[in-house]
């Protein structure tokens, strides 16, 4: 849901997917929905109705490929190999792969580069010069090592709240 998107749109897409495919959760008067399991995502038309646009096919196809066993296998691989496997999935590029590695699989060396990270890195480490996402990622991973993911979160927070 986050490919070529922004935070409000991503949040809306995730909430729509949960509401259309997940299970209803009630806590007193509060109602929410669980994020759907892969076997609950059965209808491409229904995914499209969630407002996911061109990502709908990616979500539908990926739900057919990814399972618990596949994810556990990824966790045992090196960062580089796990990233290559993720990037074989439909619609998954560098940023999405790094987000999954960092936020879902615990690869703390992953450094997802979005527009906010690109801006703050260029500002703080590249004297305001336009720099490729690849160069930024490589620089950050070398500079911050196994804590690159944590650094990414602090940098993101700093830039968003500046």
Does a structural domain hold residue 78?
no
Domain count, the chain: 2
b/e code 95-117 from CB counts within 10 Å (16+ = b): bbbbbbbbeebebbbbbbbbebb
Q: Is the pLDDT of residue 2 over 70?
A: no
* pLDDT grade for 4, boundaries at 50, 70 and 90: low
Whether residue 96 sits in one domain with residue 58: no
134 is a catalytic site residue? no
Domain that holds residue 159: 91-162
Whether residue 96 sits in one domain with residue 61: no
pLDDT in tens, 143-161: 999 999 999 999 999 998 8
| Residue where one domain finishes, among candidates 26, 50, 65 | 65
Q: Please give the pLDDT value at position 3.
A: 56
Q: Greater confidence, 99 or 1?
A: 99
Does a structural domain hold residue 59?
yes
Which of 19, 38, 73, 95 is catalytic? The answer is: 95
CATH number of the domain encompassing residue 102: 1.10.1670.10
Whole-model pTM: value is: 0.85
On the CB side of 155, how many CA atoms lie within 13 Å of its CA? Answer: 25
């Amino acid at each position: 849901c986050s490919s070529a998107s922004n935070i409000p749109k991503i949040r809306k897409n995730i909430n729509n997917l949960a509401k259309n495919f997940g299970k209803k959760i009630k806590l007193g008067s509060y109602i929410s929905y669980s994020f759907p399991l892969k076997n609950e995502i059965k209808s491409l038309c229904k995914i499209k109705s969630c407002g996911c646009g061109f990502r709908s096919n990616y979500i539908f196809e990926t739900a057919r490929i990814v399972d618990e066993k596949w994810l556990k296998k990824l966790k045992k691989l090196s960062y580089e190999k796990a990233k290559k496997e993720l990037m074989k999935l439909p619609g998954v590029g560098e940023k999405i792969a790094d987000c999954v590695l960092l936020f879902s699989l615990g690869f703390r060396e992953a450094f997802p580069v979005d527009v906010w990270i690109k801006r703050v890195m260029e500002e703080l480490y590249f004297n305001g010069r336009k720099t490729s996402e690849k160069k930024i990622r490589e620089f950050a991973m070398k500079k911050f090592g196994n804590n690159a993911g944590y650094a990414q979160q602090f940098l993101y927070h700093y830039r968003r709240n500046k």
